[in-house]
Every structure is written in structure tokens, then in C-alpha cells.
Chain A
């Protein structure tokens, strides 16, 4: 088989290079000796290799705690967003009721309202409730997601009516029907959406920045910010070691699930 190198291949290789360029340098600097960081800038190979930067980060930053915080908050938010989206999408596709159109457009409109409009009132509300600086305050405003409702409604509508009819004959209750018929029928979309919610929450910055200032409750992005501001802009080795450590869990998860993730994105309504 002859492989023809076309303009498309060239374009793709350039985007690939640009995508991995910063990552490779992060890894390189994390393992380089401090003196090498300043003198041999263009040499990406960390020779001699050192783990002093990792030891430094490990001894100064409670990283496991921060990873745990991020994991906890992201899991809870993902769970609730999926749950509320599934129930709402079920109602929009399986029931006839007064105000269905209006309520659906209301859900759609919520996607367009950006966080800068809601952050101040939400902060005031949570501070009245005494929830500033708590996980509850971090999680509470994110229990539902309009985009999730919209995308799952699209998926539910694509389920062949023959499948739905057979369930109706069985006389299954609504929740049972949702759980045993509808969710399995659109499983790839549910998984893709769950992953999307998780990544989004994991990477969230603005809302946690406002709500959390207790150092033990920081999530990973805030910990990264704190590290940069306390270490100053010069200890590059530790900074990259910290960046690398913070990225390992999501990267490992991604590589374990990558086939699933990408095909879910491509074949689900997430578009």
C-alpha cells in the first residue's frame, strides 16, 4: 500500500505538533535540573534526570488532598447533572402536558445566560445561607445543566418507537422504563455527556475562585494558581512538576477510556 502524503497530512501533522509541543516541554522541564532549565533552553532532554522538583512539590503542597477535592466535587456535580437531565429529558419526550414548549425554551435559554451575570447574586445568596467556603456552596448552583437536558432530549427522540411501544405493553412504570429501556438505548450519549460534565467541572475556575478560600478545600485549578502566586514566577521545575502531577489523573483516565470517549462524542448528540 502506498501512502500518499497530501496537504491534509501536512495540516494534521502541524496541528498534532502544536497540540503536543507544550505538553512535551512540561514533562521535560519537570525532570530537568534547575541549572539546565536556564542554560540549555532548547535541549528538551532532561539529562541528567532529576526528581527533586517532584519531591519539592510533594513536601510543600497537599496534592492528594486537592486531587481528592476535585474528584469529589466533579463526581457529585456530574451525578446530579446527569440525573436531573435524564428525568427532565424523559418528561419532555414521553409526556404531553401544559407548558411543555415554554418550559423547554426556558431550559434552552438557561444555556445562553453566562456565569458573569449569575455569579454575584449567587455569591450573595450563598453567603446569606452561610455556604461560602463549603463544598455545598461549590456544588449547589450546578445541580442542573440546560445543555444536558437539551442533548438527552435529542437522543431520546432518536429511539425507535417500536422499542418504546414494547415497554408500554409490559406496563412498566416510568422510572423503570427510563432505567431499563431508554438509558440503555442511548448509552453512548449518556457516557459522553457524563465525561463532558466531569471534565468541565474538574477544570472549573471562576466559581471555585469566588466561593473557596480555605486552603484545605481548594480544587486543582485553584491549587495551581496558589502555587504560581506563592512560588513566584521563577521556580519553573517545581511549577511544571506540579502541572504534570495535576494532569496525570485526567490523562490516565482519558487514555483508559479514549476509544469510548471519542466514539461517544462522535455518535451522540453532543454536537
Chain B
């Protein structure tokens, strides 16, 4: 201590920052600003959700009641939970076509046209993603309107009878997916394009010289395997984020209807928690949804792993 006090100030500072304790702590000091919010607002809530899912509580009463797995039991025997689960899978299916398959084909198309045109498409196709989903929902509310909407008017030109886009049980879920798809397509398109462009040109050329002339073969044998990590990322984004995105048009336009045809697990969680104030049921729904997503992601990762060629 006395030794430290006798040294001049600049080297005091030097000796402090180079002291072994400080150097040991330094990495954690750099991590703390990121880790603290993640722990406080993501991991701790996850644990608290597990705990809340074992309670029967209306979020205001001072005495929550411990009910064990009763909430899960109630869910697994309730019709609306299974309806929401099936709908969630339907959404996932729809969105995987709109937000993984179609943007991938579009991204591949872009690599097949001259550079100057490429740049135009890159810029243009991203535009809808700049708008918020709430704005997109408002626009589509008009497009879908059965009386004054332009979609039915166009259909009537080719003699197809009017469709109740948002209020018919057959079409509502598809229509909601369409809103999400339109808004998010450009973003996924750019990510997938980045993945395809990262495939080394020599590999594509040599495959072509070896006689892989057809696009399908090229895609299946070279490009898709080499884009594995990108595809997995977009898959996760589509499943995890897609259902959350679908929450917006559902909450704004359909309120889960008609006849619960557009409700899904995120919306159900919201209703249980913030409309019916049943925190236990809401938490149990959230936990089960999370489990379902994890299973989907693991299955997809395993499927891809069989054919993914990792760079390192």
C-alpha cells in the first residue's frame, strides 16, 4: 500500500490496470453490459415462467396457489390449445413456403441475371420490409376487403367468386400468413442471397463443367448443401419470429377468429395472460410453445447436418 502511494499518478494508473486482479476481471467487465440484461430479462423470466406455470394466480391476489402440473393438464385437455397448436404448425408450414422456399428461389434467380439488373432487384425487393407490420396489416385490410378490396375485384374479372379473405375459416389463416410474408420476404431474400453469393464461384463453375447443367442438380448438390448454415438461420427466423409476426395481424384484424381459425400459441399466451389474467395457464402455454419450437429446430438442424458442408 505505502509503495503504491509513493509512485507518481500516471504509473499508479498503470499499475492498477495491469494488476493481476484487474486483468482477470477485465473480460467479465466487457461482458457484463450484455450479459446482465440477457440474464435479467431473458433467462430469469424463463425460470420464472416455469415457476408461474405451476401456480394458479390472477396476477393481483397476494396468495398464488401452487397447483403443480394442473395448468399443463388443463391445457393438454383443452380444445383451444390443440386448435392453436395445429394452427401454429399450419402457420409454420405456410411461412416456410413464403419465407424460405420462395425467397430462396428468388435469390437464386437474381444470381442468374446481369449485375446491373441484380442491384436493382436487391434494392427494390427489400422495400416492403422497411414498413412496419402494423402498417402492412392496415394496407391488407383494404386489399382483402370483400366489398371494396382490389383482390376480389380482380378475381371477379376472371369470374372467380368473391373470397372472404379474413373472415372465412378456409382462407383466414392463409391471408394472415400472406401479410407476414409480404412484409418479411425482402429481408429473408437478402440473407439467402448473401448465403448463395458466398458459395465460391469456382465450385459452381467446376460443377457445371462436370456436366451439372441443370439448375435443379446444381441447387440440390452444390448450393443448398453449401448454404446449410444460412438455411438453418432462416428456418429458425421463420419459425420463431414468423409466429410472433403473425401475432400482429391476428391481434389487429382477426382477434383469433373466425371461430379461432387464426389463433395460434403466441396469441393464446397473450389472451390467457393479458385478457383472462390467468398467469399460470399463460406461462404453461408459453413453455409448451417454446418446447415445440425447440423440437422443430433440432429436427431441422439434424436434417441439414447430414448434408451440410461446414467451412471449417
Chain A residues proximal to chain B, CB less than 8 Å? 3, 6, 8-9, 11-12, 15-16, 18-20, 22-23, 25-26, 29, 37-38, 41-42, 83-85, 87-88, 90-92, 95, 97, 100, 103, 106-107, 110, 112-125, 140-144, 146, 149, 173-174, 199, 202-203, 205-206, 209-210, 220-222, 224-225, 227-228, 233, 236, 239-240, 242-243, 246-247, 250-251, 253-254, 258-259, 261-262, 265-267, 270-271
Chain A residue nearest to B289 in the complex (CB): A116
Interface size class of B (residues with CB under 8 A): 35 or more
A115: chain B residues within 8 A (beta carbon): 244
Instruction: Give the Cβ gap from A182 to chain B, nearest Cβ, in Å.
Output: 12
In the complex, A44→B154 CA distance in Å?
A: 12
In the complex, A83→B31 CA distance in Å?
A: 11
**Given A106-B38, A120-B283, A22 contacting B136 (CB threshold 8 A):** yes
B303 at the interface (CB under 8 A from A): no
Instruction: Give the Cβ gap from A42 to chain B, nearest Cβ, in Å.
Output: 5
In the complex, A247→B112 CA distance in Å?
A: 32
B76 at the interface (CB under 8 A from A): no
A224 touches B46 (CB 8 A): no
B26 touches A141 (CB 8 A): no
In the complex, A23→B297 CA distance in Å?
A: 34
Most interface-central of B17, B42, B139, B293 (chain A CB within 10 A): B42
**Count of A-B residue pairs with CB < 8 Å:** 282
Chain B residue nearest to A245 in the complex (CB): B135
A262 touches B123 (CB 8 A): yes
B186: chain A residues within 8 A (beta carbon): 19
B154: chain A residues within 8 A (beta carbon): 42
A221 touches B131 (CB 8 A): no
In the complex, A122→B194 CA distance in Å?
A: 35
B143: chain A residues within 8 A (beta carbon): 22, 25
Q: What are 20 A-to-B residue pairs whose CB atoms are below 8 Å? A: A15-B185, A23-B128, A84-B37, A87-B31, A110-B42, A112-B236, A116-B270, A117-B290, A119-B269, A142-B41, A203-B132, A205-B251, A206-B248, A225-B134, A236-B148, A242-B138, A243-B135, A259-B123, A262-B123, A271-B233
A25 touches B49 (CB 8 A): no
